[in-house]
Amino acid sequence: MTPANTDAPTPLESDFGWALRALSMAFTNDGNAAVAHLPSGARGYLVLVAVAEGQARSQLDLARRLTIDKTAMTYLLDALEEQGLVRRKPDPTDRRARSVTITPKGQRALQRARERLAVTESTVLGALAADEAAAFRSLLSRVAQGLEQRDDQDGS
């Protein structure tokens, strides 16, 4: 016979999924305000970061790197280009492809977004001491990079 379960039920706060969702929602909410000056908000910001890297050879490259559908990438870039933050130009080596570069105006907008997002990060991680927050960032970054490698292997 198993003894009667007199334990308290598992609290919601100990649930990994709940905690991850809470953090994501908070960062999304606060972060949207931080990047409100960018077209398409948070997604526009991510595209801008990836374009600024200068690694992606084509829109499809960008889409894959960001795990954004290529059809969404089209109108995200439409919006960014319309405001003069990025520029599309034909790739001379492949006339189907278009290379995307960031403009000086885009650089400034990106810099401003980064400064604001740094504040958002600190706010959202407010429950942690400075060294703990640094540790959390580091661990999160390693987790995400691990997932990126995993997914890259799956794809090819």
Ordered alpha helix ranges (H), 99-129: 104-124
Q: Please say whether the beta carbons of 87 and 128 come within 8 A.
A: no
15 binds a copy of itself (CB under 8 A): yes
* Position 36 contacts a copy of itself (CB under 8 A): no
106 binds a copy of itself (CB under 8 A): no
At its nearest, how many Å lie between DNA and the CB of residue 55? Answer: 14
Binding mask 63-102 for DNA (x = CB under 7 A): ------xxxxxxx-xx---------x--x--xxxxx----
Q: Which is nearer to a copy of itself, 26 or 79 (CB)?
A: 26
Contact between 82 and 38 (Cβ < 8 Å)? no
Comparison of 19 and 94: residue with beta carbon closer to a copy of itself: 19
Please say whether the beta carbons of 87 and 100 come within 8 A.
Answer: yes
Q: Is 54 in the site for a copy of itself (CB under 8 A)?
A: yes
* Torsion of Cα atoms, 105 then 109 then 115 then 121, to 10°: -150
